[in-house]
Amino acid sequence: MPKKKKDESREMPAVSAPIKDQPITETIETNYMPYAMSVIVSRAIPEIDGFKPSHRKLLYTMYRMGLLSGQRTKSANVVGQTMKLNPHGDQAIYETLVRLTRGNATLLHPFIDSKGSFGKQYSSSMMYAASRYTEVKLDKFAQELFSGIDKDAVELIDNYDGTMKEPVLLPTTFPNILVTPNMGIAVGIASRTCSFNLSEVCDATVAILRNPKTDTDKIMEFMPAPDFPGGGLILWDKESMKNIYESGTGSVKVRAKYSYDSKQNCIDILEIPNSTTIEAIMTQLTKMVKENRLKDVTDFRDEIDKDGFKLTLDLRRGTDPDALMLKLYKETPLEDSFPCNYTILIDSAPRQMGIPDILREWIKFRSECLRRELTFELGKKKDKLHLLMGLAEILLDIDKAIAIIRNTQKEADVIPNLCTGFKIDALQAEYICEIKLRYLNREYLLNRLDEMEQLQKDIADIEETLRDELKLRRLMSSQLTEIKKKYGQPRRSEIISAAEAGQYVKSEDVENYPAHYFLSAGGYFKKITDKSLRGNDEQTFKENDYLLQSFDAENVSDLAFFTNQGKIYRCRGLDFDTSKASELGEYVPAKFGFDDGEKPVFCYVGSEWTDKNNMVFVFENGKGVKIPLSAYEIKGNRRKLTGAYSTASPLVGIFLEGKQPFDILMLTDNDRAAVISTSLIPVKTTRTAQGVTLVSLKKCKLKNVIKDFGEQFESTKGYKKIKIPAATTLLAEKDLNKMQLKIDF
């Protein structure tokens, strides 16, 4: 029996490709960056026309399907056709379509007229029906997206498989980027835009067209705040709103709108913030009921019907509805913040821009669209005029033209013979030959001559418009004015002053008691009760940390933390948990989200921000300043204030000065000192004022400023100065040995 041959292939060791070392930077650049840029540029971030690629492909498909007129078609049909441009799947396309419909109520000006169930933006449980059941067509308003698209207004590129053309952008005749809200999360970058009222946007754009130097304040007069599809009450604060307009980022506070029915003793909530849902509100209300924090409400229910949104709260007898709503604004999403982040693609590059910059970029984009459209029309009119000029030559001797045609033996020679006989080109001759014999009458020929005169006027007007930037801007202005007239709507979101809006005072529901507060130089903060502190007053700190400030107040006292980066963070004592002396306390930078390297340097307790008291600031460069407390009064419910003091030089001392001035000891890094009274320091009303020079410094700088320094010196007689700038005095040996400096800003 022959021996079987061994399977040599099984015995051969597997050979793997050698692993090549590659720097991580190269791996990211070659493997990750193309993906990241594709998500940013081709998927998640809207462009200057206000659309992401998925929206643009869907709307353009419906436009090509002829859905601007005629009957609606099944949504499934639209989804299927859109897949020729967008290969990301039918469900993703349908979800995009749902958001653009009138039925979903997401947009102030929907682009799609819909029939069927498309869910509601304000409810997470009201789902949309399947695409085979719903019907759609383009809304009349959508025609403003495609003006001039068939006249080369925008560039057309190949789709993903090269079988169709699609627009790079849609030539919107209004700043859709500010009218249609959008949200996208890309790789390392995100965008979230809110909607503004169309009429207000048109007015602001016209103002910029008339005066390109129009500033933010003027634009805010035309469009003072966003306008949300769900309505609500916008808590308007000029400073925070202006920050959004200038930087493109920030948040807008929106409250629900309600009415009180005295007969039924119930509150009907009719509009809620655009960033929440009725389910989220009811979940929080249920939680409050379980925790016995909603005693004034006996029942609440969802009463959404065909007339729109409605959430009803039944009240106990004697309940103040306005006071209850202030509490609900504080405790539930009935008051919510809409975060804005105007990151937009400009020439395929993401940019975060403010509202005026966006409008100016849109004007550039729209100007280019109009130029392309006018150039296209100019070419068509010139071509038509060229043909009519050939016809005019024939009209000089029409019998000669007929004779040439009749006497030509071959059909192919008709065009050349006409060109030779009348000195016209082949296109003109072809046009003349195509004219039917019945049109060779006086009326037809005179009409063509009149048409030629009109074409010459039109060509002159277009050429002048293309040459004159001012005329192009007038054309845009007239289009915007017409759009406002045709589609403008009253504001849905009511604007109220944030300072005048009522605020719920939580102290009525919390226990108030005396408390002792301790702030360490490292940023740890403790709230300790009398009982916990009694007999155990030795405070525990981290290594190299020490007590910076201590004071007595109440649990509900207002607190304001000044930081080393010129900011103030407001809070209340009840925001901190009670602690013990043996514990470190709560870390303030983490609690309030401080920036890197930011730490608290002083805590002010109290709610009276009057000019009777001053904040004293002393800087490393020897300068100092007093700022009245009234400069730090914050209206409304803001928690953060920037620009609390000048950051031109590092802060080395901060104190509160009451009615009586006090002495401060200033120490330099070369062991020299000077003592002056705070009465010598001038008061400035501007928070960021750098002040005046307090001490003369030569090749040195201030390293510390001490208020209560009596125990550290036997006598300050040699250091006391009565005028500024003061000269420093070298520290005596006995003071150097006795003094232990710990405070370090």
Q: Which conformational region is residue 308 in: left (phi greater than 0), alpha (psi within -120 to 50 degrees), or beta?
A: left
- Per-residue model confidence (pLDDT) at position 742: 42
Task: Report the chain's C-alpha Rg in angstroms.
Answer: 37
Is 509's pLDDT higher than 60?
no
Please determine, looking at this structure, whether the domain spanning 360-487 carries the CATH number 2.40.50.140. Answer: no
> Average pLDDT, stretch 330-343?
93
What's residue 704's pLDDT? 87
Among residues 544, 209, 194, 193, which one has the least CA distance to residue 363?
209
Residues 262-293: tens digit of each pLDDT = 889 999 999 999 999 999 999 999 998 888 88
Q: What share of the chain is helix, strand, coil (3-state, %, to 5)?
A: 35, 25, 40
Question: pTM of the prediction?
Answer: 0.67
Asked if the model's pLDDT at residue 573 lies above 70, the reply is yes
Catalytic residues: 133
Same fold across 360-487 and 506-738 = no
Residue from 701, 709, 731 nearest 620 by CA: 701
Q: Which of 5-19, 98-112, 385-399, 562-576: highest mean pLDDT?
A: 98-112
**Residues 150-200: tens digit of each pLDDT:** 999 999 999 999 999 999 999 999 999 999 999 988 888 899 999 999 999
Architecture (CATH level 2) of domain 51-171: Alpha-Beta Complex (3.90)
Lowest-confidence region among 506-515, 575-584, 642-651, 720-729: 506-515
What is the mean predicted confidence (pLDDT) over 562-586? Answer: 87
Contact 493, 232 (CB under 8 A): yes
- Identify the residue with better confidence: 534 or 25: 25
In this structure, of 132-141, 364-373, 380-389, 435-444, the range with the lowest mean pLDDT score is 435-444
Given a cut of 50, whether residue 256 has pLDDT beyond it is yes
Residue 34 has pLDDT above 70, yes or no: yes
Single-letter amino acid, residue 629: L
CA dihedral sign of residues 495, 500, 502, 507: positive
Q: Which long-range contacts (CB under 8 A, 24 or more apart) does 465-468 make?
A: 465/374, 466/371, 466/374, 466/375, 466/378
The backbone torsions φ and ψ at residue 163, rounded to the nearest 5 degrees and listed phi first, read -100, -15
Q: Which CATH architecture has domain 506-738?
A: 6 Propeller (2.120)
- At residue 659, the pLDDT reads 83
| E strand intervals along 52-203 | 73-74, 112-115, 135-138, 156-158, 165-167, 182-185, 190-193
Q: Is the pLDDT of residue 62 over 90?
A: yes
pLDDT score of 77 more than 60 = yes
Fold of 257-333: Gyrase A; domain 2 (3.30.1360)
Q: What is the pLDDT of residues 618-666, one digit of tens each?
A: 999 999 999 998 888 876 556 788 889 999 999 999 999 888 888 888 8
Which range is least confidently modeled, 106-110, 208-212, 589-593? Answer: 589-593
Residue-range domain boundaries for the chain: 51-171, 257-333, 360-487, 506-738
